[in-house]
Amino acid sequence: GQQVMQIPQYQHVQEGEDFTTYCNSSTTLSNIQWYKQRPGGHPVFLIQLVKSGEVKKQKRLTFQFGEAKKNSSLHITATQTTDVGTYFCAGRFTGNTPLVFGKGTRLSVIA
């Protein structure tokens, strides 16, 4: 079936360091979304990217969608302890298919 691969699986950083997680698909995506799940919590929507080459920023978070619409990244500048959690990308392959989630990147921030 169609899959969305996400790396790395885990990332441990010192507070203040940057963090990046990558998402890849072998097939062109219609759009991609990013979610954050705190430990013991539920996924919370962060952003949706639709256009080829799109870049969106939310404070210290920068989201990119590749030119070929097959990959995406989330970059966090100067991590804080509140950034702890698992970040999931979720791709939609065509308009009517369900969101396919990557396995997530679990971020730990050491104060």
**Residues interacting with other proteins, by CB under 8 A?**
6, 30, 33, 35, 41-45, 48, 88, 90, 92, 95-104
Q: How far is the CB of 59 from other proteins (least distance, A)?
A: 18
User: Exposed, middle or buried: residue 84 (CB in 10 Å: 0-12, 13-18, 19+)?
Assistant: middle
Provide the 8-state DSSP code for 16: T
Q: Tell me whether residue 19 or residue 87 sits nearer to other proteins (CB atom).
A: 87
Q: How far is the CB of 16 from other proteins (least distance, A)?
A: 27
For tokens 């990558």, what's the residue? 22
As a dihedral over the C-alpha atoms of residue 74, residue 79, residue 83, residue 85, rounded to 10 degrees, the angle is: 70
Q: Tell me whether residue 30 or residue 80 sits nearer to other proteins (CB atom).
A: 30
Q: How far is the CB of 102 from other proteins (least distance, A)?
A: 6
Question: Which whole-number Å values give the CA distances from 98 to 7, 8, 54, 79, 101, in the listed order?
Answer: 21, 24, 22, 31, 9
Q: Tell me whether residue 31 or residue 79 sits nearer to other proteins (CB atom).
A: 31
Q: How far is the CB of 107 from other proteins (least distance, A)?
A: 14
